[in-house]
Amino acid sequence: MKYGFRRTMAWAHGWAGLVVGWLLFAVFLTGTLSFYRQEITAWMRPEWRPGPAIERSLAADRAEARLKTIGRQANRWLIDLPDGRDRAAHLAVWRDPGQAPRFQREEFDPAADRPVDARRTYGGDFLYYFHFDLQMPSIWGRLLVGLAAVIMLALIVSGIVVHVRIFKDFFTFRPQKGGQRAWLDAHNAVGVMALPFHLMITYTGLVTLMFLYLPWGIDLAYRGDRAAFYAEAALAQSPPAPTGKAVPLVPLGPLVATAEAHWGLPAGRIDVYRPGDAAAVVRIHAADSSGLAHRRHQIAFDGTTGAILAVEDGRPAGIVRAVMYGLHLGRFAGPTLRLLYVVAGLAGTAMIATGLVLWLVKRRPRRQRLIEGLNVGAMAGLVIAIAAFFWANRLIPAERAGRDDLEAVVFFATWAVAAVHGACRPHLRAWTEQLGFAALLYGGLPVLNAATSGRHLGHSVAQGDWMLAGFDLAGLAIGLFLGWLSLRVARCSR
């Protein structure tokens, strides 16, 4: 500690970055892919061709009819209405303790007025959930990711402190100098290029789970009654006590139309509490895609008469929170801005990756076998595992029971094998081989799609089906990039 502030920060930046780098790489990569969650899901269910978009109020009526069949004795129904990117409605049902099942969900095709008829897969949701809960039981994954995110914030700040000539160096890239200088230039370039994004996405990520991470203020202000806080902040409601008196639920379609006319915005989510009971309440939220703030606007209706009970548009602090949340999800983004989100997310992923490599390069010629192995396994191994997940999706028979979980098993098993391979092979060989293998897997995705779905690239481009074509083309582009990377590493190791 005798070298002053900047030296200390450099030291802490290096070690803290090493400790959380592998986890952050996984969070950034899978999180970035989650901006295309719906597109990934669409590719992973090629047999489902959604019908034409229909009126949201009609979709709501059909979802309501479906829930009356599958959701008896419920204390709450949830309907997520279709939007431009996801033509399925997502239905969920909760029941009181003692009733079975306590929770059930279904994907519903409102245009066809029947459940989505496709293979069982987690689709893009798998990567989305992995990026914050790591598929760990209970809340452990979320806590781990949260701690890593706070460290990431501190890493970004310390990185700025360490990086003296932040503006001048931005225009500096000296790959020909090789070694440490080149890796540092790369780390700085991708770090600074999207610096506001890195800060935003890390901080807003914490905000999405803020009531899990720091609930103690709620406990103090509400004397431990968290449900009261959620209700007061219009974040979540507890179902009202049932009266036991059966009264038919008001048709949802007209309520959707009323809410949309009130806001001038599309509706996105319908919450129905105590459907079919005299105490029923319907809450309609504006769509996530309709604005920056996530679930800011909501209207509560009496579930038996359709009368408006409350109109909630948020208060300042709640709106700030909602905007942070919305910024993180990026659901307001159109195609161009969405692509920008992904490019910035990939820059963040590359910043973490180059940082991890730089840690090793700095310590040359001393070898760090453990870190070398972990670098390959955590980074190239994950890239391979994601591709293997896509391959499993098409190679596991569509009718096989439990196939969705099997896809997840393939993901983790492939990752484990890659990690062992990365630890056993000579370091640069391991990189070359894994990047090369990954290049084949990604580059082969359009071929796999053509062979297993009949909706090949020529077909989807001709049809203007850019959701499917985009996935295939992205696979090709990623394959080419990884192949180039593999050849570069191979040249270094010679």
Binding stretches for other proteins (CB under 8 A): 1, 5, 8-9, 11-12, 16, 147, 150-151, 153-154, 157-158, 203, 206-207, 210-211, 213-214, 216-218, 220-222, 229, 232-233, 315-318, 320-321, 324
Cβ–Cβ < 8 Å for 20, 148: yes
Output 295 or 321, the one with its CB closest to other proteins.
321
Output 125 or 312, the one with its CB closest to other proteins.
312
Output 316 or 397, the one with its CB closest to other proteins.
316
Output 150 or 166, the one with its CB closest to other proteins.
150
List the structure tokens of 433.
């081989």
Distance CA 279, CA 256 (A): 20
Output 146 or 330, the one with its CB closest to other proteins.
146
Nearest to 270 by CA among 262, 260, 261: 260
Cβ–Cβ < 8 Å for 357, 364: no
Closest distance of CB 237 from other proteins, Å: 14
- Residue 306's region, left for phi above 0, alpha for psi from -120 to 50, else beta, is left
Cβ–Cβ < 8 Å for 118, 47: yes
Closest distance of CB 31 from other proteins, Å: 17
Q: Based on DSSP, count helices (H) and strands (E) in the chain, helices before strands.
A: 20, 8
Instruction: Report the residue count for the chain.
Output: 494
Output 8 or 237, the one with its CB closest to other proteins.
8
Closest distance of CB 48 from other proteins, Å: 40
- Residue bearing tokens 């798998």: 126
Closest distance of CB 355 from other proteins, Å: 17
Closest distance of CB 375 from other proteins, Å: 22
- Residue bearing tokens 């001048």: 168
Closest distance of CB 331 from other proteins, Å: 20
In our burial notation (b when 16+ CB lie closer than 10 A, e otherwise), range 357-375 reads bbbbeeeeeeeeeebbbbb
Output 153 or 485, the one with its CB closest to other proteins.
153
Cβ–Cβ < 8 Å for 32, 25: no
Output 214 or 477, the one with its CB closest to other proteins.
214
Output 63 or 322, the one with its CB closest to other proteins.
322
SS3 content of the chain, % helix, strand, coil (to 5): 60, 10, 30
Output 154 or 423, the one with its CB closest to other proteins.
154
Closest distance of CB 287 from other proteins, Å: 23
Neighbours of 97 (CB within 10 A): 7
Backbone φ and ψ for 349, nearest 5 degrees, come out as: -60, -45
List the structure tokens of 477.
């582009």
3-class DSSP state for residue 335? Answer: helix
Distance CA 49, CA 42 (A): 9
Distance CA 133, CA 147 (A): 12
Backbone φ and ψ for 375, nearest 5 degrees, come out as: -60, -50
Closest distance of CB 338 from other proteins, Å: 26
Closest distance of CB 153 from other proteins, Å: 4
Nearest to 64 by CA among 79, 82, 86: 79
What single-letter amino acid sits at 95? R
Output 55 or 232, the one with its CB closest to other proteins.
232
Closest distance of CB 378 from other proteins, Å: 21
Closest distance of CB 362 from other proteins, Å: 18
